[in-house]
Amino acid sequence: MRILRFIKALVKFIIYGDVVTKDVHDERMSICESCEHRCGTTCCICGCYLKKKTQWSSEHCPKNKW
């Protein structure tokens, strides 16, 4: 299931997305690092790797924190 979510996010990024600025990425990572739904380097809710998810403009937090 996690692979399917990643493939869907990747396709969405390729078609619609772009890489966010360093400031936006840093802000998103800061929010994720203090989130109770963080499981190490991934999001416990969606299973995405936070480093990539926070870099892609086509992605969003499943809890709408960013």
> Model-level pTM greater than 0.95?
no
* Rounded distance between C-alpha atoms, residue 30 and residue 65, angstroms: 11
In angstroms, what CA-CA distances link 60 with 40, 48, 51, 53?
18, 11, 13, 8
**pLDDT (tens digit, 9 = 90+) per residue, 8-25?**
888 998 998 899 999 999
Please, are residues 61 and 31 in contact by the beta-carbon 8 Å criterion?
A: yes
Please, are residues 13 and 53 in contact by the beta-carbon 8 Å criterion?
A: no
Tell me: pLDDT of 1 over 80. Answer: no
